[in-house]
Structure 1
Amino acid sequence: MTDTSTAESAQQAVAPPSRWTLPIVLAAQFVTPTAIAGTAIALPHISTDLGSNPTALQWVVNGFNVAFALATLVWGTLSDRIGHRQTFALGAIAVTLGSVVSAIAPNLLVLDIARVIAGVGAAAILTGSSSLISSAYEGSRRTHAFAIFGTVNGLGLALGPTISGALVSLVDWRGVFVVHAVILAAAAVGSRLLPAVQPAAGPRGPILDLSLLRNREFLAMCLVPVAGSIGFVTLLTYLPSAFSGIKNLGAGDAGLLMLAMTIPVLVTPLLIAQAVTRFRGLTVGVVVLLSLGALLLGNAGILLLSQGNSFVWVLVPMVLLGLGFGLPIGLVDGHALSVVPEERTGTAAGLLNFFRIGSEAVFVAGYALVLSAVVGSKLSGSAADDTAAGQFGHPDVYRNAFVTTVIVLIALLAVVTVAIVAVRRRSSAAAPGSTSPENDAPADRSASTAEKEGTPA
C-alpha cells in the first residue's frame, strides 16, 4: 500500500468546473456517434462524385472506426501524461482538420486518409471528455453529468443517420463534414474554458498500459459495452435491412419503426441516474443485470419477426433492446472511472472506450459475415449479394439467415453475461481484506463523496 504522502503527491490538481464544461464537452461528444452512425448514409452520394471502388468506399466508414478504436488505448495513457483538457483540445483540432479535408477531398484516397485522422481525433475527444467529467465532478453531480453524457451519446447514435441524411439532401455529402468541422472548431476554441487537470507526478508507465484490467470490477464494467455491441448495435445497424428483406418495408417506414429501439436509449440514462441516487438498493450491479436481461429477452423476442407475425409483435422486443442498451450508458462510465486511481482515469477511459468501439466494429462486421455466409449457402451471384443487402426477393432465405445470425448473437451475449457476473462475483469475494494487485483499487469515489453529501451512490 502507498503511504499518505505518496498518495497525495500522485493526486491530480483539478480546477473547479465552469458552467461551460458540460456544454463544450457534450457538443464535441455529440459529433462522435453522429460520425459513426451517420456517415454510411452518405456513401451512395460519395460514390457518385469520387468513384465506386468498394474497398476504398467502405474505408470512409471503416477507416474512422478502426482508427477510433485503436487510438483510444494510446490516448488514454497520453491523457494522464499531458492532461485531460489538452487531450480534448488536440482531439477537437484533429477532427476539425480531418473534417475540413474530407469536405474538400478530390478523391477517395484523400477522403479515407482524412477519415483516419478524424477517427484518431475522435478517440481523444471521447477519452478527454469522460476523464474531464470524472475529475471535475463528484458525488451526485458526477452521476448526473455522466447520465447527460450517456444521453448525448445515445442521441448522436440514434439521430446520426437522420441528421446526416437531411444534410445530404439539403446541401451535399460534403456538408456533413462541414458541420462536423464547425462544431469541433468551436469546441477547440472553447476548450480554454475547461478545467485544467494537471498530470500526476511520479514514474510513467508504458504508452499501452493494460494493467488496470487486473482490477476485476473495472474489467467487468469494460465488458458491459461489449454486451451492448452484441445485443443492440448489431441490430441497430442491420434490423432495417431485415425489415426490408423479410417484410419488404421501405426505408422511411423502417426508420420510424426503429424509434422503438432508439427512444428508450435517449430517455433511460437520465431516469436511471435519478433512480440510482434516490434508491440505495439500486446499485450499478443491479442496473447491469437488468440491462443484460433486457438484451437477452429482446434478442430472443426479435426472432418473432421470422415467424410471419405483424410488426406489432416485435415492438416490445425492440423496446427491451433499447432499454438494455440505455440503462448502463453513462452510469457504467462513471462507475468504471471511479474504481481506479484518480491519476489513471485517462488510461481507464481509453481502455473502456477501446472495448466499446472495438467490439462495435468487430460484431457489426461479424453479423454481416454470418448473414452473408448463410445467404451464400442458398443463393449465388448477384441474387446472394442483393438478398444479403436486404433487397426483397428471397424472403425465406433472408429469414433463415436472420434467425441463424440472431441465435449466434444470443449465444455470444449469454457468454459475455456469464463472464460479467463471474468477474464481479470474484471481485466481491476477493475485496474484503484483499491486498492483491488485482484488487488494489480505491473504493468507489462516487460512493465516498456521496456519503459526505448525504446522497446514496
Structure 2
Amino acid sequence: MYRTSWSCQSRFVIHRTLVAYRTKGMPVPRPRLMLAVILFAQFVIPLSISGTAVALPEIASTLGASPTPLQWVVNGFNVAFAVCTIVWGVCSDRIGYTRSFQIGIVIAALGGVLSTFATNIALLDTGRVIAGIGSAAVLTGAAPILSHLFHGADRAKAFALFGTINGLGLAAGPALSGLLMSAWGWRGIFAAHTIVLLLALVGSMRLPLLGRANTSLRQILDFSALKAPKFLTMTLVPMAGAIGFVTFLTYLPSALGAIHSLAAGATGALMLIMTIPVLIAPVLVHRVLERTRITPTGIVAASFACLILGGVGVLMLLRPDLPVALGVAPMILLGLGFGLPLGIVDAEALAAVPAERAGAASGVINLFRIGSEAVFVALFAVILATVVTTALPGRSGQLVASGEHGHPWIYHDGLLAAGITMIGIVIVLGIVFFALTRAVSRTPALGEQLGEQ
C-alpha cells in the first residue's frame, strides 16, 4: 500500500490510524496527502510575513497613510503570530492538535476575508491581527501532527519539507504579492491567502483527529536541547537568515518604489533575483558537501558572509543617484546567504539529538526560525518609519514611510538606519556562532547529554 521509503514506525502509526478510521466508517487519509495539506496551509504564513509590505503604498493611498496604523498591516500579523505561538501550543495540547490546526485555518481565513473587504485601516489592521492569531494555531498544530504521524527518517524528511516550504514562501512572497497586486490590487493579495487557506481546510477534514499524545506538550516543545552548544549553535543560523534576509526581503519592494519609483509589477519581477538563489543554493550545497571536503560549518560561514556583504551592498548601492541595476549583485548575495544553509540546518540540528526527540527539536528550531522573522520584520519597520516621519512630519512623511516616491533620500536614510541595525545583529550572531562552534569540539555530543537525562 505504501512505498518502501516509509519507515516501519511510521507505517505502524499510520496503520493504527487507518484501522480506527475504517472502524468508524470514515474516509481513509493517505500519508502523503496529509503532509501536503499541512504544507499547503503553512505556505500562507511566510507569504504573509514577507509579502504584505509590497502593498503598503497602494493601501496608504486607499485607506490612509498614518504611519502606526499602516505599519500594523505588517506588524499586526507578525506580532500576533509570534505572541500567540506559545498560547496556541498550550491550547492544542488540551483540545487536540488536529482541531487546533483546523481552528487556526478558520481564524486565519476569517482574518483574510476581513482584510480583503476592509473599508478603513483599522479594519485592515484587525484582519491582519486575526490572521496572525490563526496562523499561530496552524503552526503549533502542524508540528505535533507531523511528529505523531511520522517517525525516524520519515519525520526528518517531513520536517525538512516543512522548513523548505517556509523558505520558499518567504523568498517568493514579495514577487507573488507584486504579481497579485498588479492583477487585482492590494485586496487580491489577501483574497489569494484566503483561497489557499480554504482549500487547506477542505483537505484537513481527512486528517486523523489527534488528541493528546503519549508525550506532553512540554516534551514536544522541549527546550532542553538548547542547553547543549551544538543544537544552540544551529538555531542561530535561521535567526540570522530572518534578520539579515527576511527583513530586507520584506521592505526592499517598498524601498524600490520610494527610491526608484518602480511599479509593483516591476518590483515583484526584480525581487525574483533574491528568490532564485534560495531555490538553487540547497541543491548546490548538497553536491559540494558530497564532492569536496567543505564542511557544514564552512557553508554556514559562507552564509553569514553573504548576508553581511549583501546587506552592506544593498545599503551602499540602493541610492537615488545610482542605477537600480547596481543593487542586483548584493540582492543575489542576500539570497545566497539565506539559501545556502537551508538544506543542512535542520539535518545538523536533528543529528545532535536522540532520534526519539527529533520532533521536539524540530518544533524548537521552527519556533526560533519563524518567531525571529516576525519579531525582526516588525523592528525593521519601526526603525524605518521613525526615521522617515521624524525627518518629514505629517502626511508626506507617512506616505514616504509606506513606500511612496517623492523624497527618496529621506526614505534611504530610514532604510540605512534599519539595515545597519539588522546587519549589526547578524555580525553579533556570527561571532556567537563561531564561539559556540569551538565549544562544541570540547563538549560531549548533545545526544549523549540528553540520553543521560
With normalisation by structure 2, the TM-score equals: 0.75
1:362-388 Cα shifts (integer Å, max 9, x gaps): 333433444455556766556655555
Q: Is 1:255 paired with 2:268? A: yes
Return the offset for 1:215. 3.5
**How far apart, CA to CA, are the structure 1 residues paired with 2:422 and 2:359?**
31
Q: Is 1:323 paired with 2:336? A: yes
Conserved? CA contact 2:115–2:190, under 8 Å:
yes
Conserved? CA contact 1:232–1:295, under 8 Å:
yes
Residue type of the alignment partner of 1:35: S
Q: Select which of 72, 75, 84 maps to 1:62.
A: 75
Q: Is 1:29 paired with 2:42? A: yes
**How far apart, CA to CA, are the structure 2 residues paired with 1:265 and 1:49?**
34
- Pick which of 32-41 and 98-107 moved more: 98-107
**How far apart, CA to CA, are the structure 2 residues paired with 1:228 and 1:204?**
27
1:298 matched residue in structure 2? 310
Residue type of the alignment partner of 2:240: A
Conserved? CA contact 2:41–2:105, under 8 Å:
yes
Return the offset for 1:424. 3.5
1:235 matched residue in structure 2? 248
- Pick which of 226-235 and 243-252 moved more: 243-252
1:22-57 Cα shifts (integer Å, max 9, x gaps): 322222122222223333445566667766665445
**How far apart, CA to CA, are the structure 2 residues paired with 1:342 and 1:190?**
30
Report the CA distance shift for 1:91/1:216 in structure 2 as closer, same or farther (over 3 A): farther
Q: Select which of 132, 138, 145 maps to 1:125.
A: 138
**How far apart, CA to CA, are the structure 1 residues paired with 2:84 and 2:359?**
13
Q: Is 1:287 paired with 2:286? A: no
> Counterpart of 2:214 in 1: which secondary structure?
coil
Conserved? CA contact 1:77–1:207, under 8 Å:
no
1:381-439 Cα shifts (integer Å, max 9, x gaps): 5665555555555555555554454433332211011112223432442225997xxx4
1:356 matched residue in structure 2? 369
**How far apart, CA to CA, are the structure 2 residues paired with 1:318 and 1:164?**
18
**How far apart, CA to CA, are the structure 1 residues paired with 2:212 and 2:356?**
7
Residue type of the alignment partner of 2:43: F
**How far apart, CA to CA, are the structure 2 residues paired with 1:76 and 1:306?**
41
**How far apart, CA to CA, are the structure 2 residues paired with 1:49 and 1:374?**
24
**How far apart, CA to CA, are the structure 1 residues paired with 2:376 and 2:400?**
20
Report the CA distance shift for 1:363/1:229 in structure 2 as closer, same or farther (over 3 A): same
**How far apart, CA to CA, are the structure 1 residues paired with 2:436 and 2:254?**
36
1:38 matched residue in structure 2? 51
1:111-141 Cα shifts (integer Å, max 9, x gaps): 5444333222212323444455566556776
Q: Pairwise mapping of residues 18-417 of structure 1 onto structure 2 (< 5 A)?
A: 18-42=31-55, 55-76=68-89, 85-103=98-116, 111-133=124-146, 136=149, 145-168=158-181, 170-171=183-184, 174-194=187-207, 199-201=212-214, 205=218, 210-273=223-286, 278=290, 284-305=296-317, 310-329=323-342, 331-337=344-350, 339-340=352-353, 348-372=361-385, 384-385=397-398, 388-396=401-409, 398-399=411-412, 402-417=415-430
Residue type of the alignment partner of 2:329: V
**How far apart, CA to CA, are the structure 2 residues paired with 1:44 and 1:391?**
6
**How far apart, CA to CA, are the structure 2 residues paired with 1:338 and 1:193?**
32
What percent of counterpart residues are identical?
Answer: 47
**How far apart, CA to CA, are the structure 2 residues paired with 1:29 and 1:265?**
18
Residue type of the alignment partner of 1:297: L
Conserved? CA contact 1:73–1:208, under 8 Å:
no
Q: Select which of 428, 450, 453 maps to 1:440.
A: 450
Residue type of the alignment partner of 2:200: A
Residue type of the alignment partner of 2:371: G
Report the CA distance shift for 1:63/1:349 in structure 2 as closer, same or farther (over 3 A): farther
**How far apart, CA to CA, are the structure 1 residues paired with 2:381 and 2:443?**
40
1:418 matched residue in structure 2? 431
Return the offset for 1:91. 2.8
Return the offset for 1:13. 7.5
**How far apart, CA to CA, are the structure 2 residues paired with 1:204 and 1:253?**
46
Q: Aligned residue pairs: how many?
A: 429
1:139-188 Cα shifts (integer Å, max 9, x gaps): 77666555544443333223334444554555565554444333323323
Residue type of the alignment partner of 1:15: I
Conserved? CA contact 1:215–1:441, under 8 Å:
no
With normalisation by structure 1, the TM-score equals: 0.74
Return the offset for 1:189. 3.4
> Counterpart of 2:32 in 1: which secondary structure?
coil
Report the CA distance shift for 1:198/1:329 in structure 2 as closer, same or farther (over 3 A): farther
1:55-97 Cα shifts (integer Å, max 9, x gaps): 4454343222112112223444666676654543343333234
Residue type of the alignment partner of 2:425: L
- Pick which of 206-215 and 405-414 moved more: 206-215
Conserved? CA contact 1:216–1:427, under 8 Å:
yes
> Counterpart of 2:370 in 1: which secondary structure?
helix
**How far apart, CA to CA, are the structure 2 residues paired with 1:380 and 1:47?**
16
Report the CA distance shift for 1:416/1:325 in structure 2 as closer, same or farther (over 3 A): same
**How far apart, CA to CA, are the structure 1 residues paired with 2:178 and 2:264?**
12
Report the CA distance shift for 1:267/1:28 in structure 2 as closer, same or farther (over 3 A): farther
Residue type of the alignment partner of 1:287: I
1:249-277 Cα shifts (integer Å, max 9, x gaps): 5544443332221211233335545665x
Report the CA distance shift for 1:145/1:355 in structure 2 as closer, same or farther (over 3 A): closer
**How far apart, CA to CA, are the structure 1 residues paired with 2:181 and 2:231?**
41
1:15 matched residue in structure 2? 14
1:211-261 Cα shifts (integer Å, max 9, x gaps): 443243332232222211221122212334444555455544443332221
